[in-house]
Amino acid sequence: MSATTTRELVEIDERRLLRRLDDLAQRGALAQGGIYRALYSPAWSSAMELVAGWLKEAGLFVRRDAVGNVWGRIEGSRGGRAIVTGSHIDTVRGGGALDGALGVVAGIEAVTSLWDRFGRSTRILECVAICEEEGSRFNTNFWGARAIADRLEPGEADRVRDADGMTLAEAMRSVGLDPATAAGAVRRDIDVFVELHVEQGPILEDHGPRLGVVTTIAGTAHLEVTVRGQPDHAGAMAMTRRRDALLGASAMTLAIAETAVRMGHPAVATVGTIAVEPAQVNVVPGIARFTVDARHTDPARRTELLTQIGDACKAIARERKLDVEIRTLRDRPPVTLSPRIADVLRRACLAAGMEPRDMTSGAGHDAQVLTAAANVGMLFVPSIGGRSHCPDEATTADDVVLGTRALATALRELAYQM
């Protein structure tokens, strides 16, 4: 495919796109602000029904797979392996209206516009609303994408429970899905997956331009750090004799952040949860347990970051006469996306009148999991203030439209001209 293939920017229905984003944002809207669409919840089901309706309205063949991903399909005149776009439909607690949702709605708009304007594609063209990515109800990050890529763990649906004790398998049955057939979601016929997403960071807004082509997605390690000291009476034990697990853990959290700062961008490390035992107002904490999310796009530097975090925690434990145990909960290496699809996305951005920025993504995405099943590309639009995973998450309407038109233009090259 020559570099001159993509010249004409595909038109879309801008009002329909923005209206649908607003409509989807009502599914799971919270009274206190933000959105919560947890996997297999009523809000999630309502959102999936809305998406399926849009796909049927466009005249696409619509189906729900074995884990609840919803697909809309145009049969290509030459068949072959499919060109797919989409993102996830679920949210974090109190999340914004665009994380995942933009890629779903923009994907539907792009495929619908191509179908309306150019008719049947040469290649099979599909858009997908992926059932779960965030892990906000069950500790199952990328459940939908992992199902597609044949990366589910044996017995996972029966083993994982939500905060109320319901298993993932029970939740699946509550929405008419059979966990025993989850393997039926595997796809081995996808050639390309392209995901449009808000950046969730400040680089595009601060430095421009308004479009970014993702080349690498950072590797993520989740650690659980358990600090053990000695519980004592809060009034009777002298400060100088205490082995306070929470104070030790607090020193560790500061040291972890300082480690990432010293290493420099794109290293990041976040302590997201912390709990103490016995958790009583008048008892010196004997145990403190916290989690660490550590990321870097370079495998060697990520290993170095994790080593330095472990060393810092152990040094503080020794100084304070505490015991510390560090356990790895999850470890996903950095992922490099397809250079070929990145070139297609760059040409689409140029057709939009903009030379894009090549970028790394610190956030995790369905795209990184689907590299196991397809050639993957990813396009970013700016996040206002770099905000995401919160009610203030926003992108200008102009940038939403620009990104969707660039996506549609790339899909036209991939599905109609290749």
Span 243-279, pLDDT tens digits: 999 999 999 999 999 999 999 999 999 999 999 999 9
Task: Centre a 10 Å sphere on the Cβ of residue 410 and count the other Cβ atoms it contains.
Answer: 30
CATH code that applies to domain 14-218+334-417:
3.40.630.10
Listed in order, the ranges of the chain carrying CATH 3.30.70.360 are: 219-332
Is a pLDDT exceeding 60 seen at residue 5? no
Class level of CATH domain 219-332: alpha beta
Q: Please name the residue that has the structure tokens 């063949």.
A: 61
Provide the whole-model pTM: 0.90
Distance, CA of 203 to chain centre: 18
Count other Cβ atoms within 10 Å, centred on residue 78: 8
Count of beta carbons in the 10 Å neighbourhood of residue 221: 21
Percent of the chain surpassing pLDDT 70 = 98
Start-end ranges of CATH 3.40.630.10 in the chain? 14-218+334-417
When pLDDT is cut at 50, 70 and 90, the band that residue 7 belongs to is low
Report the distance separating Cα 226 and Cα 196, nearest Å: 38
What pLDDT sits at residue 8? 85
Q: Quick one: pLDDT at residue 208?
A: 93
Question: Does residue 188 register a pLDDT over 90?
Answer: yes
What 3-state class would DSSP assign to 127? Answer: strand
- Between strands 190-198 and 82-88, the pairing is parallel
Residue 293's φ and ψ, nearest 5 degrees, are -110, 110
Q: What is the three-class DSSP state of 253?
A: helix
Q: Are 401 and 105 in contact (CB under 8 A)?
A: no
Q: What is the pLDDT of residues 191-242, one digit of tens each?
A: 999 999 999 999 999 999 999 999 999 989 999 999 999 999 999 999 999 9
Full DSSP string of 73-112: EE--TT--SEEEEEEE----TTB-SSTTHHHHHHHHHHHH
Q: Is the pLDDT of residue 4 over 60?
A: no
Question: Does residue 149 contact residue 369 with C-beta atoms inside 8 Å?
Answer: yes
Interval 154-182: pLDDT, tens: 999 999 999 999 999 999 999 999 999 99
